Amino acid sequence: MLRSAEQKRQGPVTGGVEDPRVTELRSAVSRLRRRLAAHPGEFADRTIAEEELAAVAAMAADGIPEIPGLRRSLLLIAGAIGSVSALSAELREVRRAVDLFGGAMRGQG
C-alpha cells in the first residue's frame, strides 16, 4: 500500500490514531532538535547529539519504538549535551517522553 507524505509524517497507519506517547516523543525531539540547531555554541559531542536525535525521530516515525533503543539514544544525547544548560529544559522533555514508554529507570527520579 502506498502512503502519502502526510501519512508518513504522521506515523504508521493505525486507523488514523497515533499513540499519544509517540506524539509526545516526536514533539519533544523536534523541540530539542530546533533548539540545538539554533544554539550558537560549538561543543565536542554536538554531532553525536544530532545523530541520536535523528535516530529517535526515525524510531518515532516508524511507530512504537523499542525501549532499549530509546534509552540508549537518550543516554547518548544526555551525555553529549547534558552540560549545555541552555538545552536542559528540552532535554528533560525528551527524557519524560521516553519515560512514557516504560517508566523511569531504577535509581532515577
pTM score: 0.79
DSSP state of 16: T
Which residue reads 519524560 in cell numbers?
Answer: 96
Is the CA virtual torsion 77, 78, 80, 84 positive or negative?
positive
> What per-residue confidence (pLDDT) applies to 8?
47
**pLDDT at residue 104, as a whole number:** 58
pLDDT at 64 over 80: yes
User: How many distinct helices (H) and strands (E) make up the chain?
Assistant: 5, 0
